[in-house]
Amino acid sequence: MDPTLRAAIEAGDRDAVRAALGAGADPSASGPDGATALHHAAGRAEPDVLAALLEGGAMLDALDGHRCSPLLLAASFGRAHIVLWLLERGADPNLAAYGRRLADIVHDRGEWRLLRAIKDRGARLSREQLLALKAAEKEGRADAAPPVPVPLGEPTDVALREAEGQVLEVFDEHYGHLGPAAALDWDPNGVDLDPAPFYEALSDRCGVPPDPTRASFGGYGGTLRDAARFVAGVRAGRPR
């Protein structure tokens, strides 16, 4: 994937995405894992960024090296609003990655309202899934609203550096024995340790709770850099 395009997606900057595409970045190019720009965006970006990629020629149902589509990736990350957005634009709800379809992911996560929504949009449910959905509807569990993204603002460079410093401080306290954090590109989910205490400490130190729509990094994004950008963005988006 073009590094400029990747950086624009990570920053959630629609205009920068369009600029990268206009400069010749290929939206369908894949990285070593087969993931395209749309896969990358489905797990972290908002609809305006995904729309820019589709307008630039990104393939809606591209498969990565695990035969996972952007839709399946969004579902795995618990991003209900992105799942519905992709379905509304024609994503195939019945593609399978190693036998697991969209309905399997949503059912296993217990997201009953979303399961009903994808069923209404063409997803095929097994008999077991239909029965589970019926029971959830009877008990009122399918009426709970899905989580919505935490609103983000545009942080200043100073605010972003401050957030990066706080995130690295928490890293040193919890994982300092592992060595340096490889700058800010370290992912706490990549070590054989329970990251929950790290997430709790990060929330306390930064005063920013996790986003329920961000399944990766405990609700903070992907790497330490993503977490810092999220923290700074939440702070910038708060009313003054």
Amino acid at 98: Y
What is the rounded distance in angstroms from the CA atom of residue 27 to the CA atom of residue 12?
15
Question: Could you give the percent of the chain with pLDDT greater than 90?
Answer: 45
What average pLDDT does the segment 77-101 reach? 92
pLDDT for 115 equals 94
Taking CA atoms, 146 is separated from 39, 73, 128, in Å, by 22, 17, 22
d(Cα 55, Cα 138) in Å, to the nearest integer? 41
- CATH architecture of the region 1-59: Alpha Horseshoe (1.25)
Across all residues in the chain, what is the average pLDDT?
Answer: 85
| Alpha-carbon gap, residue 223 to 228, rounded angstroms | 9
Domain ranges in the chain are 1-59, 66-148, 157-237
Model confidence pLDDT, tens digit, residues 115-162: 999 999 999 999 999 999 999 999 888 876 655 666 778 888 899 899
pLDDT confidence of residue 84: 93
157-175 helix and 224-237 helix, angle to the nearest 10 degrees: 130
Is 1.25.40 the CATH classification of the domain at 66-148? yes
